[in-house]
Amino acid sequence: MAIKLKTEYYSTVQKILIVDKGMTPLSAQLKHELKRYENEIYVSPQIPQSLSPFSLCFLIDPPPQIFRALHAKHPPCILIIPSSHKQAEKMKESIAKRGDATIKIVSITSLIHATPQDIDNILWFTFSKSDETFLYIHHPLPPPKNKIAPSLSAKTNKTIRRLHLIFHPKTIPFLLISLFLIIHFLFIPPLLTSFFFIYSATKSFTAKDIVSVKKQTELARSTSQVSKKIYLLVRPTFLILSLVSIPDGIFQVNEAATTVLTKSVPLSQNTTALLKLILKQNKDKNDFTQIQTLKDSITSDEAEFSQSLNLLYQKAPDWIFKKKKEEIKKALSYLEIGQKLLFHFDTFFAKDTKKTYLFLFANNMELRPGGGFIGSFGVVSVHNYTIDPPIIYDVYDADGQLKSHIEPPLPIRLYLSQPDWFLRDSAFSPDFNSNYQQAKLFLKKEMKLTSFDGAFLITTTAIQNSITAFNSLYIPDFKELVTKDNFYLKAQLYAEKNFFPGSLQKKRFLGAVLDQILIQIEDVSFSKLAEAIKTSLDEKQIVMAFEDPELQKTITSLYWSGQTIHPTCSSSKQNCVLDYLMPVDANLGVNKTNFYIQRSLQSRVSIDESGTITNRFTAFYQNQSLKNIFPGGTYKNYFQLFLPKDAHVTRVSLDESILSNYDNVVQNDYQSVGFLMQIPPQGKSIVAVEYQLSQPLQKGGNVYQLITQKQIGTANTEFSFSFSLPSKTYIMNQNFSPLVKGNSIIYNTTITNDKIFFLELLKE
């Protein structure tokens, strides 16, 4: 027979703490019962840092390391442990070791199914003055209503505890914030998926997998649309928080990238198709219709492509897309050029008319002021979008027919010992348009060839650059495999082997190479070929001139005309000082030594206290050819340096020896200093020219502008530029990033094309 105990309670009001991480029903039952006796009850999911405010605490289902959390001075604590009798025994042993009589342990079957009698027993055990520190309460759990696995009750208990914790009043604000954030950022996963498909499509485009590009681009577009629909629902919140520019910008980048990929495929395909149609002979009516359709489509797609690419360049963040943005910037420059040239498409390809173009092939290994020795030339007819096969001539075919005397430039007569002037030496001006006019005069006199609509000068280096796009060319007629690296030597071999005036070997080899380029052009990467040609144009290995003034204006604006620049100041400031440098070589040694010549340039500009500007120009040469080994030899060079027209030359030296006898010619916008120099195989030489500008710096704001022009056909040359200032003169701005040393600046670069150096100065 069970003995019914009567529980007695203290009548004084106590502060009692109940710690229950799981917020189980047992803690609620204890709280309810204790409140009946006017106690102040506090319930917490975790133990506070200090227990001193409380006179009693109940720790429900405490962790094994609970004793670490209980400080030396703590109120009486009741540890209520569910189910595990072993855990209770271990804690009992720990209490015994600690000798702490203020801790009691209650082991109970369930924290969920405690009966009123269980609660009464726990309270009696808590407030009794008995020495007992352990109470074991055990009775069977109520049977489950359904036949389920025995372990389900434990799972249910855990689930109920979790739900109780989740929906506890203190967690509701956190739940609401989490729900708010989830709703407002739900658009991000599909947006990231869209960017992934864009990335995959870009890789597929690089691999020329057009089918995958189209599929992945469509997936990118569809996932982006899903993301944007979700975003538009929550956009007002971003607008209120002034954060709308961030997601809006991301969507703009996404849409621009998708448009770029969408347009890139037809743009690439249509450009290739148009090129094939232009090269096709015997076109029919459908071909001409297709050419017009493709041209209009390219014009439309290119405009939209360029607009989206420009938006992508502006909006994409630098810290993520820095390298890609450099590629985009390059692509935009290509598109701008393409748009300019497409405007003249009908003019160049002679829609409903006929045009004739002159091609001058210059060997820049035997360098001349205008690009090189003219060894061959070609005539190409274009009529109604059709290019006829080129007719290639050896230059001696023409020069052998010259009947009259034409006085040559003085260096040709003096140093080349040639009393007459011929087409082969016609490229003797650094200005291509002047050379074109001279070539037309020769061809009219020699072969009665007239009415050219334009001309191209193509150097050996330009042909090498173009061959790069093909990797190699097999020339069946000569049984030769031509690459970029061996083209020059192969061409020179057939030019020199058993050579005599009128020999057909050279022109046949060059013609066979050009024919093979046209045959294989349909199989080559159009982008690689376009890049190779653009490199040659930018580096003045190909220059051109046209009779059509609008077309010529466009070519000049792209710096592809090979013209000498009329020096003008780009600054609106009144005190603008112009400086100009163009070093020009002319190989008059009847050899191909430029193949072995290494050259670097240096310009040292200084200003004295009076404001006088002095430029000390130096050119360093090294002839790396071997003695008596073809195709090298002594570099017999007529060197010229073009300067401002009103500059005062104060010193000219060769290998540190001052020259008193040199050519000094003033014409048009420039003056030139010229003299003959010879560098033997394995030899070195230094040319130095010092001059003063006629216009000094004035007090106040000034601009110094140095224009450096690259000679047609020259290799890319290292160039070092320094600028020294006196006291009370300061550099306020410049268009390059120099190294500053004291009162001087130094800038090292490479002359790949014409350059302008701009410095804004202040003189006190």
- The tokens for 619 are 């050119």
Distance (Å, rounded) from C-alpha 665 to C-alpha 674?
8
Number of neighbouring beta carbons within 10 Å of residue 404: 7
Residue reference for tokens 């289902």: 61
Distance CA 205, CA 224 (A): 20
Reduced to 3 states, what is the DSSP secondary structure of residue 209? coil
Residue 564: pLDDT band (50, 70, 90) is very high
**Upstream peptide bond of 631 is cis (omega within 30 degrees of 0):** yes
Higher pLDDT, 102 or 362: 362
Confidence of residue 9 (pLDDT cuts 50, 70, 90): very low
Fold match between domain 15-166 and domain 576-763 = no
Q: Which residues contact 534 (CB under 8 A, 6 or more apart)?
A: 334, 337
Q: Pick the more confident residue, 39 or 291.
A: 291
Q: Is the pTM of this model over 0.85?
A: no
How do residues 187-202 score in pLDDT, each as one tens digit? 999 999 999 998 898 8
Q: Considering the chain, what is the average pLDDT of its residues? A: 86
Report whether pLDDT(287) > 60. Answer: yes
Q: What is the pLDDT of residue 694?
A: 94
Percent pLDDT > 90 in the chain is 48
**Do strands 373-383 and 386-387 pair parallel, antiparallel, or not at all (unpaired)?**
antiparallel
For 421-433, the pLDDT digits (tens) are: 999 999 999 999 9
Most trustworthy range by pLDDT among 76-90, 268-282, 501-515, 537-551: 537-551
Provide mean pLDDT across the span 697-707.
93
Task: Using the predicted structure, report yes or no on whether residue 406 has a pLDDT greater than 50.
Answer: yes
Rounded CA-CA distance 608/603 in Å is 16
User: What's the pLDDT score for residue 507?
Assistant: 58
Structure tokens at 733: 């701005």
Residue 71 pLDDT more than 60?
A: yes
- The confidence score (pLDDT) of residue 668 equals 84
| Calpha distance 423→408 (Å, rounded) | 11
The answer to whether 614 and 569 are in contact (CB under 8 A) is: no
Q: How far apart are CA 162 and CA 172, in angstroms?
A: 14
Q: For residue 566, what pLDDT is reported?
A: 87
Lowest-confidence pick of 16-30, 314-328, 345-359: 314-328
Share of residues in the chain with pLDDT > 70 (%): 91
Q: Please name the CATH architecture into which domain 576-763 falls.
A: Sandwich (2.60)
- Topology of the domain comprising 355-557: Aminopeptidase (3.40.630)
Domain positions in the chain:
15-166, 181-343, 355-557, 576-763
Q: 586 near 638, Cβ under 8 Å? A: yes
Instruction: Give the Cα separation of 237 and 374 in Å (integer).
Output: 72
**Please, is 96 exposed, middle or buried when counting C-beta atoms within 10 Å of its C-beta (0-12, 13-18, 19+)?**
exposed
> According to the model, what pLDDT value does residue 22 have?
81
Tell me: pLDDT of 91 over 80: no
Most confident listed range (75-79, 98-102, 224-228, 734-738) = 224-228
pLDDT in tens, 431-473: 999 999 999 999 999 999 999 999 999 999 999 999 888 888 8
Provide the β-strand partners of residue 720: 602, 748
pLDDT of residue 169: 67
| 630-675 per-position pLDDT tens digit | 778 999 999 999 999 999 999 999 999 999 999 999 988 899 999 9
At 97 the pLDDT is: 76
The domain defined by 15-166 folds into Rossmann fold (3.40.50)
Least confident of 143-157, 567-581, 613-627: 143-157
Beta strands in 680-754 (DSSP E): 684-692, 700-708, 717-724, 729-734, 739-741, 744-751
634 class by beta-carbon count within 10 Å (0-12 exposed, 13-18 middle, 19+ buried) = middle
pLDDT on residue 46: 85
Question: What is the average pLDDT across 360-372?
Answer: 95
pLDDT bin (cut points 50, 70, 90) of residue 319 is low
Q: What pLDDT is attached to residue 158?
A: 63
Band (5; pLDDT cuts 50, 70, 90)? very low
Q: What is the pLDDT of residue 311?
A: 87
Confidence check: pLDDT of 150 > 50 = no
